[in-house]
Amino acid sequence: MIDGDSCGFRFRHALTVDAVQAMLLPEERQSICDRLSEALEALHPDMEGELCQLPANLAEGAGKYDRAAALWLEAARRALREGSLSSAEVLALRAYDTRPVEADRVLLSTWTLAGQSQRAAEAGQRILASAADPALQWEVRFDLIDAMIDAGRWDDAESYLKAAGGAADTDSSHMARRAIGEAEVALGRNDRQAALTSARNARAVAAEAGLGEETCRALWLIGRVERGRDTAAAAAVFEEAYRCAAQHGLAVYRTRTLLELGTIDMFETLATGRLEDARQHALASGALSTVAAIDLQLAATFSCRGQAAQTLAAAERSSDVSRRFGLSSLPLSLALQAVAYGFSGNWARMEEAAAAARETRSDRDTVEINILAMPSPSITSAKANSTRRSSRWMARWRSCERPEAGSGCSPDAGLSCTPWSVTEARMPGRNAGRLSSTPP
């Protein structure tokens, strides 16, 4: 029954523990839990590592629910810092009944990083509706900005930015996060120059104040703008972001930076190694919005290779997660499904997927260009009895122009240059192994 060692003893099986506990009267069990909890906290006052979960269980068993909730929340915050988003969610939910506002604060950050925008918005609104400290409410508004950005809700993000304007004038973190939010909204609306200006402002403020998370995010934005015109410069910026994330122990940010570096590989060689590594890390941490974004990039890469089955599989994975959590990656994931069906000559399913992408009424210009440009290799090589349909699609594609700033087309929801790049790579006499960021 018992396995002894130099540090004490333990039961060999959880069922043995359950059997022993079942033999105790409620009062006995509560008293034992109370004594064990106090002894454990006396031996380990800092509750290092994951140790605080055990005294939390003991405190709960002793009927000390507030103490148990405090320990669950501490364990949740540690899991969040380590990038274990799934664990952070479970631990915070255990404290919810006793400390709802504090639990919602952890859940808001967790769900924002995980890309669960709707749940994050609900948690944030509950905090704002409570009698929470004003300083906490300012922090919540900045997390809500991030949640709205993940969902592609640019107007809502801008509204929260305006509401957070007062705090941003005096606090370095607020100043940096406000500039990051402005850059994200500008990039979402294809105003790349405004995005670059705000991102550089954010980087300067964050670097001076030693803010690791904000520095990483500002570097991502700079790199995403640079990526459309100079992949070498973008790669250098993303490498800097990766070093910053590693220096500050930001596991989720390292994964996201690996995603950004993987997009450089896509542009230059169509390699997927770093994207696949990033996907595994994102899955392990529960960062579902990052998983959806990676699958979108993988789908785009596979489509550039003309691999219909792999394109469809990755695009479907992205759309499933995007639909479930209301992510901005949904429209392009549906558009890339249309691409996959176009490659394989399945016109009916292509039309169906294209219609679903358009029905989202989001990123309409980018969706349209992807739908019309990406299937072109299949369309132009279609059988004679499909000539009329192919001609209609090609005519519509040729009528598309690259979206200008302010047009509402998001250039970075997937890969902004994918349509033009694929066209460039597929044209006779062009280098099929390298993508171009310049439209034909």
User: Would the pLDDT of 437 be above 50?
Assistant: no
pLDDT of the residue at 270: 93
pLDDT of the residue at 400: 44
Contact between 414 and 260 under an 8 Å Cβ cutoff? The reply is no
User: Would the pLDDT of 406 be above 60?
Assistant: no
Q: Among 49-63, 198-212, 357-371, 390-404, where is mean pLDDT lowest? A: 390-404
Assign 47 a pLDDT band (cuts: 50, 70, 90): low
User: Would the pLDDT of 285 be above 90?
Assistant: no
Contacts of 155 (CB under 8 A, 6+ apart): none
Q: What percent of the chain has pLDDT over 70?
A: 75
Assign 32 a pLDDT band (cuts: 50, 70, 90): confident
Mean pLDDT of 415-438: 32
Mean pLDDT of 40-49: 70
pLDDT of the residue at 295: 96
Assign 369 a pLDDT band (cuts: 50, 70, 90): low
pLDDT of the residue at 438: 28
Assign 428 a pLDDT band (cuts: 50, 70, 90): very low
Mean pLDDT for all residues in the chain: 79
pLDDT of the residue at 319: 95
Q: Which residue has the higher pLDDT, 23 or 194?
A: 194
Contacts of 39 (CB under 8 A, 6+ apart): none
* Matching residue, tokens 């994975």: 317
Assign 432 a pLDDT band (cuts: 50, 70, 90): very low
pLDDT of the residue at 22: 73
pLDDT of the residue at 166: 56
Q: Which residue has the higher pLDDT, 353 or 168?
A: 353
Mean pLDDT of 9-30: 70
User: Would the pLDDT of 246 be above 90?
Assistant: yes
- For 107-143, write each residue's pLDDT tens digit: 999 998 888 888 999 999 999 999 888 888 888 999 9
- For 58-84, write each residue's pLDDT tens digit: 888 888 889 889 989 999 998 898 888
pLDDT of the residue at 222: 97
CA distances from 343 to 55, 270, 425 (A): 58, 18, 15
Q: Which residue has the higher pLDDT, 361 or 142?
A: 142
User: Would the pLDDT of 53 be above 90?
Assistant: no
Contacts of 185 (CB under 8 A, 6+ apart): 149, 154, 157, 158, 161
Q: What percent of the chain has pLDDT over 90?
A: 42
- For 164-191, write each residue's pLDDT tens digit: 765 445 789 889 999 999 999 999 888 9
Q: Among 36-45, 82-91, 218-227, where is mean pLDDT lowest? A: 36-45
Return the structure tokens found at 69.
């909730």
